[in-house]
Chain A
Amino acid sequence: MDVSVEKKIQMLGTMIVSRKFSDALRKLCKIKDKIPGMMIVADGQEAVGSGVCAALEPEDAIITNHRSHNHLLAKGADPKALMAEIFGKKTGCNKGKSGTLHLAVPEINAPCTTTVVGATLPIAVGRAFAQQYRKEPQVTVCFFGDGAADEGSFHESLNLAALWQLPLIFVCENNLYAGGQRYEEHTRVTDMADRAGGYGMPGIIVDGNDAPAVYNAALEARQRAVSGNGPTLIECKTYRWGGHSETDPHEYQPRDEIKAWQEKCPIRRLSEALSDQGAVTAAHMAQMMSQAEEVVEEAVRFAEQSPYPAPREALEDVYA
């Protein structure tokens, strides 16, 4: 299906903000005592979050994993609140409890980011069940990596979601690596999408660096889900440009492989397509870039100027 220019520009905008957000984090995390914990970013994978989320309604939910920033920004999370949380500040979206790895933004229907690999799937089953139960015309999207498909939870979740025809979209973000393992070092199946058939749901393969293609696949899956025809597994083939985390020297990742994938940058790809179409000019592009930079700079400023929570605030929020 032809994707409108407005949609494409929207997706491009989200991807650029995501990239700039990550640019900032990759620098900031190297400064001692600036950001607590392990820094995990997703440069080169922006088309997945932006393409999928562009196909969603605000009431649709996403459940995401340790590599969540792009997904959350694309779903509409406030960059300031995310950044402050990543800094461990009181003004962060989770008051400093979650940090970079567990950002929860229920107000935009992104209620759970879990770092337990494979844990997004069963929770998404529950979220989608609630939508079906209440006969809401909404879907839940579950993001996970190719590595997560090796956890038992993947298999249990696909089976149950298909059995009950839940309004769920399983988005496997196959970035060719799971930690230090290349894809073919952790599974024999060529395409993760093939596993869908084993549970009785469609498995779609999409070029994960092509935002409009991801958008179309998600839109179709959403349509299937809301019309009561059950879940879909979408495998987005993409690539992790950096190491697993920013402290990973990732020598196991061939440098020419990285280069080749950087040539397929999803942002450049969509912006070139749009300019070939005559839909954006160089000036327009430059403006999008500087706007995104401003958004991220403002978020960093907000995070830096925000106070830390008081120590005893650690005791709050355990129980309702």
Chain B
Amino acid sequence: MQKLGMGQAVNQALREEMHRDPGVFIAGEGVGVSIHVNPMLPTHGLLEEFGPGRVKDTPVSEAVIAGLAVGAAEAGLRPVVEIMFNPFFTLASDMIVNHAAKLRYLSGGKSTFPLVVRIKSGAGFGAGCQHSHNLEAWVAHCPGLKVVMPATPTDAKGLLKTAIRDDNPVIFIEHMGSYFAPPMPVPEEEYLIPLGRADIKRKGRDLTVVTWSGMLGAAMGAAETLSREGIDIEIVDLRTLTPLDTETILASVEKTGRLIVMHEATRTGGFAGEIAAVVLEQGFKYLKAPLRRVTGPDIPVPVSPPLERFYIPNADDLIVAVRELLP
């Protein structure tokens, strides 16, 4: 089987969908001619393959990049636009939050907006808070949007293809750390992964960790360490934040009786709170212990290496939380 990094898997999904559907085009800053020339990056080589008619380099203009997607999607195209770094989402946010998310509703269900906004996100690059702010909870808070955050190359490929074919606006957030993680086997053939379905990345009986995106690796690492002591962790990779797969979360908590939610984003108002609420509302009776959140602290992501390391939740933080919850 081919081995791909996440950027390459995204790249393959884009290529396949562009070949399949002439209505799919991509646009964004540097999606064609880039300042980063690296085959591990998601839009590498697309301009050469599909030409400037379908691979549109835009000026530095996030509002119109997002607006372009909204208008073109309503007209029947399938735009896949890119916001270079998660914090720049704020410049595109009027078009996404007030328009992509709401215009179908405002049309009484008559219009559809089949668009994908790909956003690169994540800390760990010393780039600081204006490049490394994880904002998934902001978009998950908007009815009308679907929010997808793959953690593996295989999931990224199947989920992105589904997102492009979905008739709703999908925010597709890629953790940049995954671009440069060791490549993983990815099926060569065409496959789709449904949105709204979590994936159990590791089966276990003692405690459930719900996580997504860049934190999956740390969670798997912690589970590995703990397994040597006979502690058996189940890891639920959410993959899609909205629509949320409450069924898989609840079934796992029913089995283990213990829950930790882990994400890189800051704590207050983070998406862990939503998962906690779902479990407290619908699965309170399963819980044998209080639940815990392992998240970034409530600070902007700092630059200095020891400070940035302090920010990013890691396997050790998770292990500490696990030990608190186990008898």
Contacts and interface: CB of A to CB of B under 8 A. Distances in A.
26 contacts: A36-B308, A37-B127, A38-B127, A88-B304, A89-B304, A95-B304, A97-B304, A97-B307, A99-B128, A100-B303, A101-B130, A116-B130, A147-B60, A150-B60, A151-B61, A178-B59, A178-B60, A179-B30, A243-B35, A244-B35, A248-B35, A308-B304, A308-B306, A311-B306, A314-B302, A314-B307
Contacts of B125: 37-38
Given A38-B125, A88-B126, A314-B297, 12 more contacts: A36-B304, A38-B126, A90-B304, A96-B302, A96-B307, A99-B128, A99-B304, A101-B127, A116-B88, A251-B37, A312-B310, A314-B310
B57 interface: yes
Q: How large is the interface on B (under 10, 10 to 19, 20 to 34, 35 or more residues)?
A: 35 or more
B137 interface: no
Contacts of B302: 96-97, 314
Interface in A214-265: 243-245, 247-252
A287 interface: no
Contacts of B91: 116, 118, 151-152
A315 B86 CA distance: 22
Nearest to A318: B299
Interface in A269-317: 308-315
B36 interface: yes
Given A33-B305, A88-B303, A312-B310, A101 B59 contact: no
B60 A101 contact: no
Contacts of B309: 311
Nearest to A35: B126
A115 B310 CA distance: 23
Nearest to A249: B37
Nearest 7 A-B pairs (CB), nearest first? A36-B126, A99-B303, A96-B304, A88-B304, A150-B59, A37-B126, A311-B310
B311 interface: yes
A80 interface: no
A102 B60 contact: no
B63 interface: yes
A179 to B, nearest CB: 5
B218 interface: no
A245 B35 contact: yes
Interface of B: 29-30, 33-37, 57, 59-63, 87-88, 91, 125-131, 297-300, 302-311
Given A102-B130, A312-B310, A118 B60 contact: yes
Contacts of A115: 128, 130-131
A108 interface: no
Contacts of B297: 314-315
Contacts of B304: 36, 88-90, 92, 95-97, 99, 308-309
Interface string A86-117: 00111010011111111000000000001111
A172 interface: no
Nearest to A245: B35
A309 B304 CA distance: 8
A40 to B, nearest CB: 10
B317 to A, nearest CB: 12
Interface of A is mostly: loop
Nearest to A150: B59
Given A101-B127, A248-B36, A117 B307 contact: no
A30 interface: no
B128 A180 contact: no
Nearest to B88: A116
Q: Which of B36, B88, B300, B302 has most A Cβ within 10 Å?
A: B302
B128 A102 contact: yes
B59 A187 contact: yes
Nearest to A89: B304
A148 interface: yes
Nearest to B34: A180
Contacts of A315: 297, 299
Given A118-B60, A245-B35, A314-B297, A180 B30 contact: yes
A240 to B, nearest CB: 11
A63 to B, nearest CB: 14
A185 interface: yes
Contacts of B298: 318
Interface in A9-61: 33, 35-38
A180 B308 CA distance: 29
A38 to B, nearest CB: 6
Contacts of B88: 116
A199 B61 CA distance: 19
Given A98-B128, A150-B60, A179 B306 contact: no
Interface in A69-90: 88-90
Nearest to A97: B302
Nearest to A147: B60
Contact of B57 (A96, A148, A185, A251): A185
A268 interface: no
B299 A96 contact: no
Nearest to B29: A179
Contacts of A243: 35
Contacts of A96: 302-304, 306-307
Contacts of A313: 307
Contacts of B61: 150-152
Nearest to B90: A116
B59 A186 contact: yes
Given A150-B59, A315-B297, A309 B307 contact: yes
Nearest to B33: A180
